[in-house]
Each structure stands twice: as C-alpha cells, then as structure tokens.
Amino acid sequence: MAWKNGPLELYHGCDDVAAKNIVSKGIDLRLCRPRTDFGPGFYTTTVLHQAQQWANARVRRQRHGGKTKSRATVIKFVVDRFPLAQQETMGLVVEGKPAASDFWEFVSYCRGGVTTHIPGTPNAFYDVVFGLVSLWPQLLVIKDCDQISFHTLRAVTALLSKPVIADTAAPISGLF
C-alpha cells in the first residue's frame, strides 16, 4: 500500500468560552501558560479521549477556583502534514532513565518557568515540540498519550484548517 501522507487530526481540550474564541479569533500565544511540559505553547494531541480529559480537568480547576460554570469542549484541527514538516521541531518520544533522559531534562527545564527553549537566547523557541505526556512532578508518563505543542506564530499557521468544535466532553472521572 502506498503512503498517502494524508492530513493529521489534532485535538485541543479546553472550556467552551476558550473554544469559541479560538474558533472565531484564532490562537493567541500570549495566553499560553508557562511551566508546562514543553514550555508556553498551544498544546494538542492526536488522541480524542486525551483531549476530552484535558478539557474536563480544566473545567474542574475552574469550578474549584470559584469561576462560573463552563463546559468541557474539544476543538479539532485537520492539519496538512507538509506545512507541519517545514517547522523547526523537536521530538521527545522515548522516556528513558530519568537521570539521563533528554525528555526529563527538557521537561524539568520547561517546568522551571523558562521563556526560551534555547538557554541564553531570549524568546527562542522550537516551532513545534512533540512527545510523551508527563505526570509531573513524578517522573512518569501517561501510556498511549501524546502532545504536540505549537510555540511560535509560524507554527500556529501550520494549523491551517478552520478549527471546529469536535466534542462537548461529558465529565469523565479518573485521569485516563
């Protein structure tokens, strides 16, 4: 069978207010949280269930913080692989031993609140970083989950298709 290099489906879990803003106005990288696995960026996954879990976790955090009730929502992006391949990327796909692993070293670095991927170079980010999902601060990863994060305006433009609300995630108990 021939490789068709078809589009990649990516999902982003959030609340309904954020989803409406992203669909209508686009992705604003200034709103991205610091101290995440791969640093501040727009995070997606290829796993719908995982995006539903992210959405539900966000809504639970908001409710515990006393904010208004919102609904867990998943946005779907259909991404052409060629523009994505043109990005400056870093892939971290093997966990390895925590003391010697590039994955854990990079996650620890980013979770420390850095504002750059390249030490000593302000605001220098890989366009796209992809890899495992950590259970930080434990040195554990979540099986069968992935994350693809977009860190630059150039990277966000690779999400060419118009995003659509893919799912209003029903609350799901448990982590994964």
What global pTM score does this model have? 0.88
Give the least confident one: 45-59, 63-77, 117-131, 135-149: 63-77
**Pairing relationship of beta strands 72-79 and 8-15 according to DSSP bridges:** antiparallel
Q: State how far Cα 13 lies from the chain centre.
A: 9
Domains of the chain in start order, with CATH, are: 8-168 (3.90.228)
The tens digit of pLDDT for each residue in 117-145 reads: 988 888 899 999 999 999 999 988 999 99
Please, where are the H alpha helices in the chain?
16-25, 48-64, 81-85, 102-111, 153-156
